[in-house]
Amino acid sequence: MSIKTTLLAQIYEMQGLKEDALKIYRDILSSEPDNREAQAAIERLLSTKRHFPSPNLAQLELFSNPRNEEDLLQFQRWLLEWTSKI
């Protein structure tokens, strides 16, 4: 089961993983050619591609592989805060 969604791509963008986000948007567009959100995101990312910052690897590791309950809670708090902004 694929979980490639625009929300996941947005999370990747927020983490600085612009190339990964771009790949997800392209995958979405290949299966949903009329997806305007993916189209707009691809255009936006390509227009700013040369300005992609490096990903926050420490935060990515923490969110990808929580070491304990507190790490997981920290990720959940961040995700709730982030989703309240969109």
How far apart are alpha carbons 42 and 2 in whole angstroms?
A: 20
Cα–Cα distances in Å, from 75 out to 3, 38, 68?
18, 25, 11
Total residue count of the chain as it appears in this document: 86
What pLDDT is attached to residue 52?
58
Domain ranges of the chain: 3-48, 52-85
Mean per-residue pLDDT over the chain, rounded: 83
What is the three-class DSSP state of 69?
helix
13-27 confidence digits (pLDDT tens):
888 888 999 999 999
Contact (Cβ atoms closer than 8 angstroms) between residue 52 and residue 19: yes
Q: Taking the model in full, what pTM does it have?
A: 0.56
Torsions phi, psi of 24, nearest 5?
-65, -45
